[in-house]
Structures are given as C-alpha cells and as structure tokens.
Amino acid sequence: MLRDDGQFTELEAKVLDICLVLHAEHGGGNNSTFTNHVVTSSGTDTYSAMAASIASLKGPKHGGANLKVQEMFADIKANCKDWDNKEEICAYLNKILDKQAFDGAGLIYGMGHAVYTNSDPREVILKSFAKNLSDEKGMEKEYALYETVENEAGQLIMNKRKMFKPVCANVDFYSGFVYSMLGIPEEMFTPMFATARISGWCAHRLEELVNAGKIIRPAYKYVGWHRDYPKMEERK
C-alpha cells in the first residue's frame, strides 16, 4: 500500500483486490493485449512482448486514461465553483467537448467504450466500492461530483457527436479516484493497471504460442484518390 506503517483498513484492502481483479483480463481485442498477440507472433521473447504491451497501455486513450480522468477532474474542480450546480458543470463539460477547456482534445475522459454502450460491468462494480470508500474517507462531495459528471456526460457526448448509441462510463472513470483515496501516487496509477493486466497478457501470449505459427499482419487498403505521377522534368 506504499505506507511506512503498513496499516490499512479492511475496506481498503478489499477495494485494492477488486481493482486488481477487474483489470486482470478483458479479452484479446483491447489495444495492449492485441499488441501482445502481434508481437508474440513475431517469435520474440516474453520480456519483449510484455514491454510492448506496457508501451501500449501507457497511452492516455488506454491504460493511461485513469490519470487523464484525474487531471480532468482537477480542472473541473478549479473551474466550477459550485459542485452541486448541474447546469454549471454541464456548461463546462460542453466547453471540454468543444475543445475550449482542459487539454483541448475534445474528450471527456473515462466516458465511452469500444464494446460497452449501456454500461461497463467493471465500472458498475468499482463505482459501488468507490462510494463506500468515499464515505470512509469523508470524500462524499468529491464522489457526488464524479457521479454528476457520469450521469450527464453521456447524453452531452451523444448530443454533440450526433450519436444514437448510449455512451457509458468505463472502468477508468472511477479507478483513478479510488487509487487516490487509497493514497497511491498518481505516477503509479498506470503501473497498477499493468500489474493486474500482466496475468491476462501472459494467458494470451501462451494462447498465441500454442495456436499460432504465422506472424500477424493486418491488411490495409488504400481508400484515397489515385493520381498520375508526373516525371520530374514535367513538374512546375
């Protein structure tokens, strides 16, 4: 727990266990696990395959999203005076979506998933433990802010992007908040994800070694415009 005295509550220990279990495996299609399959198929060693997966996981759209969520909420807290004012929060979230606030990327981090639409089952579980932990830590107000953003952001994204499928919070939405309540430094957030996911990576690497034999090479098709290639002497 990165504590000098080694002391922690029963709830803290349980929440940490839950985080590790929820992040341990999530199929072969996510970016870091697919990276593991691709790199393993080249015939390289285990260390190289795991290093490649970690490099993928580090990205802010993948495992690094939990830290991005924390940074985003720090920005929201600094710019929204009344955390109970839903209209003020929604107005600022729209600024984020319009690339006028936070990092200018136009993303509400922790919202949306490539597979899940109505809900991310991992997030549902983690949210309940985040609520219990916030009660124990006296951080009910912060939890309420997270819940407000979660409840409003999905519809705002759908309206802004003209989407018809629901947009739900993913597991990264509350994981950084949970880690911060556990007293884990921010620079350890993504390594915590990797610590949990390495069991899944190992399983997928074994699967690739047993079942494969051919190197993975996704096909790409050019869909742009073709044009004539003028000779150098004919160019203006």
Residues annotated as catalytic are 113, 172
* Amino acid sitting at position 90: C
Contact 145, 83 (CB under 8 A): yes
Q: How far lies 170's CA from each of 118, 127, 154, in Å?
A: 10, 10, 11
Tokens 């597979």 sit at which residue? Answer: 115
- Give me the residues paired with residue 169 across strands: 111
Contact 167, 116 (CB under 8 A): no
Tokens 């993975």 sit at which residue? Answer: 216
